[in-house]
Structure 1
Amino acid sequence: MGSLSTANVEFCLDVFKEMNNSNVGDNIFFSPLSLLYALSMILLGARGNSADQMQKVLHFNHIVESLKPEFKNSPQCSQAGRIHSELGVLFSQINQPDSNYTLSIANKLYGTETMAFHEGKSVIVEMMHQTGTFKLAFIKEPKMLVLELPYVNNKLNMIILLPKGTTNLEQVEKQLNVRTFHRWTSSANMLEREVEVHLPRFKLEVKYELNSLLKSLGMTDLFNYGKADLSGMSPATGLYLSKVIHKSYLDVSEEGTEAAGATGDSISVKRLPIRARFMANRPFLFFIRHVHSNMILFCGKLASP
C-alpha cells in the first residue's frame, strides 16, 4: 500500500491546491480516496494517451514504475486492473461492517467564542471543548500547531494544521507539499500530551464539477470528443467523459464527526506547560486519515464556519 498511499497524498494535495486557487476564501472539502477510486474505474477502460494522462494525474505512473518487470511491461489494462484491485481491498478494510468511525470531539458544548475568520471580521460560532491525551507538534517554520485527534479504536484520525502567532493559513498553504506534509504530520515529531482542545462546531456540504480542475492537472483528452480513447470500455466510437461530479459532507459536532464522500524545514516539540491549549479560532486545514494504510480519506479547509 506504500506506493498507493504516496499517490493518494500527491493527488490530494494537487486537487486541494487547484480548488484553493479557484475558491479563494471559501471552505473546501473533498475525498481524494473517493475520487481516486472513481477515476480508477474509468482508467480500466482508457487506452493510449488518455490512459497515460490519467496515470500521470492520479500519480499511478509511480506505482507502475515500482512494479516487477513482468507487471511493469504488461498492457495498460493489466496495470490499471492491479491498481484498481488494490484500491478495492483498501475500501473493504475501511468499510468493515463493525467499524465505528464517530470522532468524539467533546462531551459538552461550552457556549460560543469569537473567531476571526476574515480579515477585519469576526463571527460568533459554537465551540466544543474537550481535554484529553492527544499527539501534538509545534512547527517552527511556518509557525503552527499540528494536532492528531483519534477516532474510536484508533482506526482513523483527524489531523489539524493550525497557524499560530503572525503566521496565516496562506503561508502554510504555500509550503504545503508531499514532503512537508509527511514531515509535519509524522508521529515521530509529535508528542503525546494532555491537551485542552477548542474546536468549532461546523457542517460542510460541498458539490464540485471537476472537469476544469482535472484538465488543469493534465487530464485533457478524456473530455475531448475527438481525442478520448475509452476503447477498453466500449468498441463504440465517440465515447468521452462529459462530467465529473464530486459531493462531500462533513458534520463536526458535540456528538462526534460524520464524513461521507461520493465519488530546510524545522520541526521541534516544544516544552510546553503541563497542559497544552489548542484553540482553533482561525482558519485551519484538516485531514481525515486511515491509520493502517496512511491513506487520506478526506481533506478540507475551514475558512469560515
Structure 2
Amino acid sequence: MSLSNNNKTGNIFFSPFSISSALAMVMLGARGNTATQMSECLQAKDCWGDVHSSFAKLLTELKRPEAPFTFSVANRLYREKSCPFTQKFLIQSKKHYSTELESVDFKTRSEEVRIDVNNWVQKNTPGNITEVVDEDDLNELTRLVLFTATHFRGSWKKDFSWSKTYDAQFWLKKNDSKPVKMMKQEGNFACTFIEEANCKILEMPYSGEEVSMLIFLPAEIEDDTTGLEKLEKELTSEKFVAWTHPGKMQTCYIDVRLPRFTLEETYDLNTVLSSMSMVDAFDHTKCDFSGMSGHKDLVLSKVIHKAFVKVHEKATEATFVDMCWFEYCSGKIMRGNLNSFIADHPFLFFIRHNPTMNILFAGRFCCPV
C-alpha cells in the first residue's frame, strides 16, 4: 500500500477501485506520454483499449439491483462553460462510467459551484461525507473537476451480537494500549496462517458471500511500532492472491474478536501517483490532455481521495469521494492458535468482490479514534 510509505503507524483506509476508476476516466482524455504513464500506473498498459470496458462491466456487476449488498457509484464532471470539450471524450465518459456533465461558471461563480458540488457529494454518500471542496479549491483558472462518489454497505453473513460486545484494550504497540469496544462471535470461518509473514488471515463473508472482509493479523507484535512492518514488507499483490486463494484457506470453528471502529481519511494523491511514475500529468510543460479539449491547455492539478468506513455488529459501511482538478496552464502479544482470532492489536483489512477477486477497499487499523 503506497499510502503507507509516509505513514508507518497511523490508520489508513482507501478504495483502490474508486481511485483506479477515477484515474481511468481521466485517462480517456490523455494522449502521448501522459497516457502511457497513466496506463502504467493503472497497470493497464497491455489493455488500454479494454480497460474502460472492463470498468464498465465491473460497475454493472457491482450495481445490479438484486445484489445482496449496496454498491453505488456516481460520477460527475464539472466543466467551465466557456471551455469546449471534445464530443468523443464526453460520449466515452458517459458510455463507460455513466458520468453526468455539468457546465458551470468557474470564472465568476466558483463559490456557487463549490456549494453545489458539496451538496451533490452529500446526496450521493448518504451523508457520510459532507464537504469535499474548500473555499480555496476552485478559482477562475479551474477548467474541469471530476468527482467519483462510491458508497458500499454490506451486512455480515452472521451478525455479531450486540449483547456480546465488551470493553477491551487494543494494543497500539507492545507497552501501549487504548480502550475499545470489542465485538465477539464464534462460528465457522475460512482462515489460514502464513508462516513467512507470521500472520493469520481470516475471511468474514457478507450476506450472499459475494463480498468478504479479509483480515491480516500478525501473530505477535515483533517490532517497536505497530507489529505490521514485517507483514507490510512481505505483502505484494501476487502474495495477496496466493495467500487468500480458497485452496489455501481452511474452514475452522473460530472465536472471533474484532473491534468496532469508524475511520475517516483524506489523501492528496499527487505525491503518491508521481512516485508511481505518473509525473507528466501534473507538469504543465509536459501534460497532454488534448483528448479532452482538443488542445494541450489542461493540467491535472490535484487528485483528492476521501474515505469513510464504519464497521459494527451488523454491517460494514464504506464511502469514498475522488476528486481530480484540472486547471488552465498559465509487550509481545502471542496468538498462535488458529481456533481464536483476537484482533486486539494492529491489523490490515481488505474488502474483496469474490466473483472477480477485485479489491474494493483496503485499510490498516492501528489505533481506535
TM-score by length of 1: 0.83
Q: 1:64-213 counterparts in 2 under 5 A?
A: 64=47, 79-80=48-49, 82-101=50-69, 102-104=154-156, 105-108=159-162, 109-165=164-220, 167=222, 168-213=227-272
Unaligned segments of structure 1, at least 5 residues: 1-15, 65-78, 264-270
Which protein, 1 or 2, shows the higher relative CO under an 8 Å CA cutoff with sep ≥ 6?
1
Instruction: Give the corresponding residue for 2:288.
Output: 229
Supply the distance in 2 between the matched residues of 1:107 and 1:120 (Cα, whole angstroms): 30
Q: 1:2-21 counterparts in 2 under 5 A?
A: 16=1, 18-21=2-5
Supply the distance in 2 between the matched residues of 1:28 and 1:172 (Cα, whole angstroms): 15
Instruction: Give the corresponding residue for 1:37.
Output: 21
* Cα shift at 1:183: 1.8
Instruction: Give the corresponding residue for 1:301.
Output: 364
Aligned partner letter, 1:93: E
Find the partner of 2:351 among 284, 288, 302. Answer: 288
Give the number of the structure whose residues are more often helix, by fraction. Answer: 1
Secondary structure in 1 matching 2:54: helix
Alignment check: 8 A CA contact 1:147 1:160 kept: yes
Between stretches 201-210 and 252-261, larger displacement belongs to 252-261
Aligned partner letter, 2:358: M
Secondary structure in 2 matching 1:233: helix
Find the partner of 1:241 among 280, 300, 309. Answer: 300
Unaligned segments of structure 2, at least 5 residues: 70-153, 323-335
Identity %: 39
CA RMSD of aligned residues (A): 1.6
Find the partner of 2:41 among 34, 43, 57. Answer: 57
Supply the distance in 2 between the matched residues of 1:158 and 1:45 (Cα, whole angstroms): 35
Structure 1: which 4+ aligned runs deviate by more than 6 Å? none
Alignment check: 8 A CA contact 2:221 2:228 kept: no
What are the superposed Cα offsets for residues 79-137 of structure 1, whole Å, 9 maximum, x if unpaired? 34x21121011011112223333232512242111111134211110000111111010
Aligned partner letter, 1:103: S
Alignment check: 8 A CA contact 1:156 1:289 kept: yes
Alignment check: 8 A CA contact 2:174 2:221 kept: no
Supply the distance in 1 between the matched residues of 2:288 and 2:309 (Cα, whole angstroms): 36
Q: Structure 1 residues 203, 166: closer, same or farther in 2, change over 3 A?
A: closer
Larger radius of gyration: 2
Supply the distance in 2 between the matched residues of 1:163 and 1:237 (Cα, whole angstroms): 49
Secondary structure in 2 matching 1:172: helix
Supply the distance in 1 between the matched residues of 2:165 and 2:213 (Cα, whole angstroms): 21
TM-score by length of 2: 0.69
Find the partner of 2:30 among 46, 51, 63. Answer: 46
* Cα shift at 1:262: 2.4
* Cα shift at 1:186: 1.3
* Number of residue equivalences: 264
